[in-house]
Chain A
Amino acid sequence: MSELDHQVPSAFDPFADASADDSGAGAKEYVHVRVQQRNGRKSLTTVQGLKKEYSYNKILKDLKKEFCCNGTVVQDPELGQVIQLQGDQRKNVSTFLVQAGIVKKEHIKIHGF
C-alpha cells in the first residue's frame, strides 16, 4: 500500500535540483577552505578552488586587510593557485567570499576540525 503511494506522480521533480546544481557551478566547483596546524597554537588557512578568472592577488590583498593577517598566493603544480593565510580564518574567509559575491554559500566547503 505504502509502496503504491510512493509512486504517485507529483509536482516534485527529484532531478530538478540536481540539474540546477550542474548549471550553477558543477559538482566539482567547490571552494575548499582548510585549516592546517603549525607549531604551537599557530595555524594556517588555505583557500583552494576559486575561479580562475579572479585576480588572486587582489582578493588576497583585501583578505589580508580585512583580517589583519599576512598571506600569500601559492602556485601548486596540480591545483593551480592557492591562497594561504596566517591563523585560523575559516569563518572569516567564508563570510567574506559570500559577502563579496565571489562564491555562493553552498559552494564553500569548510574542512578541518
Chain B
Amino acid sequence: MSKDDQILEEFTSSEYKYGFETTIDTDSAPKGLNEDIIRFISAKKNEPEWMLEWRLNAFRKWKTMKEPKWPNVSYPEIDYQDIIYYSAPKQKASPSSLDEVDPELRETFKKLGISLEEQKRLTGVAVDAVMDSVSVATTFKDKLAELGIIFCSFSEAVQNHPELVKKYMGSVVPINDNFFAALNSAVFSDGSFCYIPKGVRCPMELSTYFRINAANTGQFERTLIIAEEGSYVSYLEGCTAPMRDENQLHAAIVEIYAEKDAEVKYSTVQNWYPGNKDGVGGIYNFVTKRGLCNGSGSKISWTQVETGSAITWKYPSCILKGDNSVGEFYSVAVTNNMQQADTGTKMIHIGKNTKSRIVSKGVSAGKSQNSYRGLVQIMPRAVNARNFSQCDSLLMGDKCGAHTFPYIETGNKSAQIEHEATTSKIGEDQIFYCNQRGIDTEDAVALIVNGYCKEVLNQLPMEFAVEAQKLLALTLEGSVG
C-alpha cells in the first residue's frame, strides 16, 4: 500500500531525471574498431595473452556476421566505425577502498540514489557500480569473501580468478552466438563477476549499477554469474544514461551458469535514456542474456522491467539442460512516444520434467511499438516438459502498436504447453471511475498500469519494486489526455 503512495507522491512533472552528465576526465580510445583498438583495450586492462586472443577471435568472427534484421524495429544503419569502444573515468588503476574513488564519481552515484558510502555501512545490498566501461567500486566485498562468494568487476576476475573466467566465459553465450554478442566479446571493457560456492546462500542482494556517461561511446559490459551446487543468489541490475541527441549503443552480455539444485534470480530495471518525445536520441539496447540450468533441479528466474531505451532488443533465456530444472521469465515492457521494443524469452527444454513459466506484460503508449517474441522449444528427450505462457498487451491511445510472436516447437509428445494471450485497452470507464473518486487521470493510469503489472512487480525484491512502480508512472506521464 505504501509503495503505491510513494509513486503517487513522486509522480511529478519531471521528465527523464537521470539525464545529467558528469564532468569527469576520461581515458578514451580513438573512434573506430579494428584489431589495434582491441589490443589497446586489452593493454589498458593489462590483460593476459589468452584474454586478448579470445577477443581477437571474437572480432574475426564478428567481421563475418551480419546485424540481425528480423526484429520488429527500425533504425538508421549503425556506423560501427563511428563509435568509441573504450572510455573510462580517469582514476587510479584499481581503487583498493572507496576513499580512493574520485569524489565526482561518488557524487554521480549519489545522484542516482546509490550512495556507495552508505551501501558500505548499511547491510542489504552489495553494489558493483559500472560507469561507461569500467567498474568503479564494489561494496561489501570483504563480507562476502568470508562466505567464499566472489563479487567483483569482470576485469578483477580476469586478473585474480582466471581459471573460473576461462572455464565459464562464453559457455552459455558463445562468442559467435549472434552479431552483438560477438561484438561484445571483442570489445567488452568491464562488467560484474559473481561466484557462489557450493551450498552457500548469498545473504544479501547483489547489485550492478550501469551508467553510460561519455558521449559517442558504446557500452559493452558483461556479467558472469556462476552458482555452484545447492547455492542461491538474487542479483539486481539497474541502468541509466544522460540525455543526448545522438543514439548510443549498449550491447551487453549476461551469462548465468547454475549447477545442481542451484537457484539464481536475476532482476533488471532498465531505464536507459529513451530519447525525446520526437524520437531523437536514446540508447539502442541490444543485449544477450542467457542462463544455463546445467544441473538437475536448478532454477533460473529472470524478471525485467523495461521502461527506457529508444530500442530494446533482448530475450533473456533459459536452457533447461538438467532434469527437473526450472526456468522463469517475468517481464514488463513499457514503451511511450517513439520507443520500440522487441523483447521476450527463449525456453529451451532439454532435460526430463523441465518446467518453464513466461509472464509478459506489454504496455504501449504514444506512437511506440511493443513486441513480445518468445520461443518455447521442447527437445526430443525432454519427457514431460511443461510450459505456461501468458502474454498480455495493454494499449493506450490509438497510435501505438502491440505485437505478439510466440513460437512453439515440440519434439516430444509428452510435452504440455499452455499459451494465453490478451490485448486490452485502458478503459475510459476505468479512468472515469477513478476520477469520480477524486483521483486525477494521470494517477488513475499509474494505478491501473501498476495493477496490470502486479504479477511481475511482485517478483522483484522490495526496494526494486518501489523503484519500478515509480518508473512506470514516469514513463507513461502525459500519455493520456
Chains A and B come from one and the same complex: no
Binding site for A on B (CB under 8 A): none
Binding site for B on A (CB under 8 A): none
